[in-house]
Amino acid sequence: MSRLSHPLVQVAAALALTAGWVGAVATGADLGTVPTVAVSGVAVLGASFLLAWGAETAEKDVPRAFAIAVLAVLAVAPEYAVDALYAWHAGAGGATTAACADLSASAIEAGQTELARACHDANLAVANMTGANRILIGIGWAGIAVFTVWRAAKTGDSAVTNRGGFLRDAVTLDRDIATEITFLFLATVWAFLVPLGGGIDIIDTLVLVGLYVVYIGIIIRGDVEAEEEHVGVPHYFQQWSLPWRPLVVLALFAYSGVMIFTAVEPFAHGLETIGIENGIPEFFMIQWIAPLASESPELIVVVVLVNKARSTAGFNALISSKLNQWTLLIGTLSVVFSLAYGQYGALPFDSKQAAEIWITAAQSYFALAILVNFEISVREALTIFALFISQVVLEFLLIREAIALPVDSEQLLLVYAAVYTVVGTALFVARRAALKRMVGLAADAGRTAIGREPVHQEFAD
């Protein structure tokens, strides 16, 4: 092994990528918008490598699903911070459902008063959350599936199945991911009901956070899997003895988490500023550009895993991220809002954001219908991406009044939501045997977690 390829040299290189940001924070230097975007973006890249190595090393001592769940929480922590900030401002400004209902949409959009600005922030919290969730599927799931198939020619990834026919090559997922998919399905079904309450309230918090707590309770009781062959930095650290191995995992998690948490917000905010200065509407920037920036650590981590022919772990991370965003992120918004408001309250949103929630739930429903048979083909991935990007582009053109359609932007969302739901339902009906198998595997995981024997042995193979 050459000195330059030694694992500690690779760790040092990743740390070096974060050094500029550490220096900027330590000195309090004002770098300016473009340099801040560059320095913080490079730091996110370095931290993402450290985070991926930490999660892979942790698989030596804890169940893989739990290690990946921790990775997912750390990777999307900045998204929580951005959303929590908007929810806090909404609560501090007294943006209750009743108060916002008394204001006109134009007054809220213009932020004419303190209350109007608070109601606007409440809408932005929902918009940022729905944008992040749709990006994770529309770009994350779809893009990584295509990337995995493309890289398989060099990595020899055994999870990729080559088939005849146009774009039919597929990524096969491990059936152990049934628990994540099932809980995400339950959260998605509940999400369809959220707009009916007129705001994100305590019931949503109890249901969605409760789902995630139960999920974590199941996976943390799972067995440590037979050791998978690792290479590079994770392999090097896994050879360390106790207690040094878990200590280095904690150090990698802690440092990368701090870097990601502190660097992504300035990175996203800088991109927002650049976009707004170039004539892109603020709402569009906050819904799409900021979440894309805050999701970047997760996507980088998954690319690292796919490059190691660990696409199963990569998809586990993506699905785990979607699950915690679709449960914890939504569920904690009303808590943050209530703390800022000084008493219990529901985070309000207007009819446009209700439509945003419905299309986000519908996209998740459609994507799960694709994954229910534990595989995703290139054709299916491109379909997910095409539906996602076409809606974003059409809405942007409508907002800029560049095209004329028989529907407005809110109605466009509902049309896409209907398409996702109808096609997703057709897929679930066609794949009902796969749905039954997935739920059975998840139920067995739950029984195993509480010390009972699995009962769906027919799904074990």
DSSP state of 228: P
Contacts 24+ apart (CB under 8 A), 185-193: 185/368, 186/211, 187/211, 187/323, 187/326, 187/327, 188/326, 188/361, 188/364, 188/365, 188/368, 189/365, 191/326, 191/330, 191/357, 191/360, 191/361, 191/364, 192/358, 192/361, 192/362, 192/365
Express as a percent the part of the chain with pLDDT over 90: 34
User: For residue range 98-114, what is the model confidence (pLDDT) as tens digits?
Assistant: 899 888 888 888 777 89
Which residue ranges form the domains of the chain, and what is each CATH number? 3-459 (1.20.1420.30)
Rounded distance between C-alpha atoms, residue 181 and residue 211, angstroms: 12
pLDDT tier at 1, thresholds 50, 70, 90: very low
User: For residue range 364-399, what is the model confidence (pLDDT) as tens digits?
Assistant: 999 999 999 999 999 999 999 999 999 999 988 888
Rounded distance between C-alpha atoms, residue 319 and residue 374, angstroms: 12
Alpha carbon 356 to its chain's center: 16
User: For residue range 174-222, what is the model confidence (pLDDT) as tens digits?
Assistant: 888 899 899 999 999 999 999 998 899 999 999 999 998 898 888 777 6
Residue with tokens 């809002």: 337
Rounded distance between C-alpha atoms, residue 285 and residue 265, angstroms: 13
Q: Apex CA 174: angle with CA 173 and CA 177, to 5°?
A: 95
DSSP one-letter string for 230-291: --HHHHHHHTSPTTHHHHHHHHHHHHHHHHHHHHHHHHHHHHHHHHHHTT--HHHIIIIIHH
Task: Indicate if the pLDDT at residue 72 is higher than 70.
Answer: no
User: For residue range 271-322, what is the model confidence (pLDDT) as tens digits?
Assistant: 777 877 877 777 787 888 777 777 777 787 788 778 877 777 788 878 888 8
Rounded distance between C-alpha atoms, residue 263 and residue 256, angstroms: 10
User: For residue 279, which phi and psi values (nearest 5 degrees)?
Assistant: 90, 10
Across the chain, mean pLDDT equals: 84
Average confidence (pLDDT) over 419-431? 97
Is 25 in contact with 280 (CB distance < 8 Å)?
no
What is the structure's pLDDT at 370? 96
Whether omega for the bond prior to residue 78 falls within 30 degrees of 0, making it cis, is: no
Residue with tokens 């991926």: 52
Dihedral angle over CA of 258, 261, 266, 269, nearest 10: 180
Give the DSSP H or E segment for 459. none
Is 293 in contact with 268 (CB distance < 8 Å)?
yes
Task: Indicate if the pLDDT at residue 224 is higher than 70.
Answer: no
Dihedral angle over CA of 193, 86, 387, 315, nearest 10: -90
What is the structure's pLDDT at 411? 94
In one-letter notation, the amino acid at residue 156 is G
pTM value is 0.84
Beta strands per DSSP E along 134-223: 160-161, 170-172, 199-200
